[in-house]
Amino acid sequence: MAPNAAFDIDTRNAERVPATERWINARDLIDRCMGNLNLANRVLARFRSGLDEAVQQLEQMVEAADWGQACIRSHRLRGEAGNVGCRHLAELASQLEGACVRGDGESARSSLKALAKACGEFQQAAPSLPDVHAESAKKTNAILHATFRSRE
C-alpha cells in the first residue's frame, strides 16, 4: 500500500503525538469548521456513528461483486473521511474505490480488509477532540479574525 504522505508523517512520529493525531488531522477539520469546535465534534461524531454500517455495507457489496454500488459507497466514505480530516481512512477508501472501478475482486477484498481493520482501530482511538484541538480552534479563530480585519 502506498503511504499517504501526510499520514505517514503522523505515523513516523507516533510516539510524540497524541493518539488521535495519528488518525485525525484536527487542524484540517477545525479549519473546515471555521474554528467552531462544537461543529467539528458534531461532524466527527456523525462520521463515527455511521462508520461501522458503512463497512458492513461495503462487505456485502464486495461479497456480491456489486461493483457499481461498492464504487459509489466507497467514494462516499472517502469524501466523508476526508471532510473530517481522517486522511488515512480516506486513502484506504480511495484504494477500495479504485479496485471496485476496475472490478478487481481480489484487490477489492484486500483493500476492504485493510479498511475494516483501520476503521476498527480508529473507533477505539478517536474519542471526542481533546484540549489540544481546542487550542487549534483558538489559533484558527485568530487567523480568521486577522483575515477579516485585513479585508476591512
Partner 1 sequence: MNILVADDDPQICELLDHALSSFGYSVTTARDGLEAFELLRSGKFRILLTDWQMPGLTGIELCELIRKQDAGNYIYIIVLTSHSYLDSVVCCLEAGADDYLSKPFRPAELLVRIRAGERLLSLESRELTIFALAKLVESRDDETGCHVDRMRDYARILAEELAQDKDFSGTIDGRYINLLYLTTPLHDIGKVGIPDQILRKPGKLTAEEFAVMKTHTTIGASTLEAVTAVHKNAAYLVMAREIALTHHERWDGTGYPHGLSGSSIPLCGRITAVADVYDALTSKRSYKEAFPHERAVEIIKEGSGKHFDPRLVSAFLRCAKAFESRSWRLKEQGASSNLLDRGDQGQISV
Cell of 90: 480516506
Q: 3-state DSSP: the chain helix, strand, coil percent, rounded to 5? A: 80, 0, 20
Q: What are phi and psi of 4, to 5 degrees?
A: -80, 125
Which residue, 64, 122, 125, 133, is CA-closest to 93? 122
The reply to whether 85 sits near partner 1 by the rule CB under 8 A is yes
Nearer to partner 1, 84 or 112 (CB): 84
The reply to whether 91 sits near partner 1 by the rule CB under 8 A is no
The reply to whether 104 sits near partner 1 by the rule CB under 8 A is no
The reply to whether 45 sits near partner 1 by the rule CB under 8 A is no
- Binding residues for partner 1, rule: CB under 8 A, are 28, 31-34, 36, 39, 42-43, 46-47, 72, 75-76, 78-80, 82-85, 90, 144, 147
